[in-house]
Amino acid sequence: MGQNAAGRHFVFVLDEGFTMQAFSSAVEVVRLLERVRPGTGYRYNALSLSGGPVAASNGFRLIPDLAAEAVPPRAVIVVVAGVRAGHSAEPALAARLRGWARRGHPVWGISSGVVRLAQAGLLEGRRVAAHWEDVAYLRDSHPRVQVTASLFVSDGEVMTCAGGGAASDMMLTVLRRDLGGEIADEIAARLVIDAVRGGGTRQRRALDMRFETRNRVAFAALRLMRANLVPPLPIAAIARAQGVSERQLERVFAREFGKTPSALYLDVRFQDARAEVRDSRRSLTEIALDHGYSPAGFARGYKRLFGLLPSEDRRQAMSDEIT
């Protein structure tokens, strides 16, 4: 992206039921830029397709301040949507998005705004970040979209973001590239963000993207595992909770995931621990003990699964370039 002396004009297109946290996380970064460095030329507006107030996921209604017909040239279109996006198409919105893209506007998606971009045909063959709740829909309905577990992804003129607090990380990364790290760090400090996560950081629920299933027994067993990471439940107890024998559960997991319940449970527990290893600054000993392992046993299991020690993984995460 590089230096952008002329600034950027972000136009947030709010779909009915849009996620307020994702929207506000992105907007606040741009708002604070004017306080930290006035006169940079970065601006923002919000619009809805109807032109009227639009309800957020929390029930509050936001009044747009820009008409769809008045989008200025070269403005960055940022679509923000919510959980309804994967359940109902919006042909009028899709047509409008395609029109903006044809006129040369960068078109970005935040949270389920990524779904709206896919429905508009703007993500074919592209790498995208998507909220883990939208992954199954995207893979089923838009198989040519390359879904990743990343917090945000830049692919050409398109940026996509999983949503939530990651929208702040994405916008801070944009400002870091445009205006330098000092400005981005100052805004992060005002937002009480200790460290800006790179786009390559994996979502904490990234495992949901690896182990998807429509099998009722397998889905319920996985949910029970995730709810009981420490201490783990016996596999026999998980099977009983689903009304099947342990052997039946093993057959279901072998068919759905190609793993035994015990092996997948281990993956779930270590994946949760890995997110903390890479994203937090707690001591590795504390993380190991909190997840029910001795430090030595934790290190051995970690390296077996991920190919490197927890200390090495943390150093790598800290030194990774922001992507």
Decide: residue 150, CB within 10 A, 0-12 exposed, 13-18 middle, 19+ buried: buried
Task: Spell out the CATH class of 9-190.
Answer: alpha beta
How do residues 83-119 score in pLDDT, each as one tens digit? 889 888 899 999 999 999 999 999 999 999 999 999 9
Can you give the pLDDT of all 323 residues of the chain as single tens digits?
A: 444 546 899 999 999 999 999 999 999 999 999 999 999 999 999 999 999 999 999 999 999 999 999 999 999 999 999 988 988 889 999 999 999 999 999 999 999 999 999 999 999 999 999 998 888 788 889 989 988 878 999 998 999 999 999 999 999 999 999 999 999 999 999 999 988 888 777 666 555 555 666 688 998 898 899 889 888 999 999 999 999 999 999 999 999 889 999 999 998 899 888 878 887 778 999 999 988 899 999 999 999 999 999 999 888 877 653 44
> pLDDT digits over 192-207, tens only?
998 888 877 766 655 5
pTM for the whole structure: 0.68
CB count, 10 Å around CB of 97? 25
CA 252 to chain centre: 29
**In terms of residues, how long is the chain?**
323
For residue 323, which of 193, 174, 183, 106 has the smallest C-alpha distance?
Answer: 174
DSSP-based three-state secondary structure for 58: coil
Query: Where are the domains positioned within the chain?
Result: 9-190, 211-319
Compute the distance between CA of residue 121 and CA of residue 118 in angstroms, rounded to an integer: 5
211-319 CATH pick, 3.40.640.10, 3.40.190.170, 1.10.10.60, 3.20.10.10? 1.10.10.60
pLDDT at residue 155, as a whole number:
93
Strand, helix or coil for residue 137: helix
Amino acid 139: pLDDT: 80
Percentage of the chain modeled with pLDDT above 70? 93
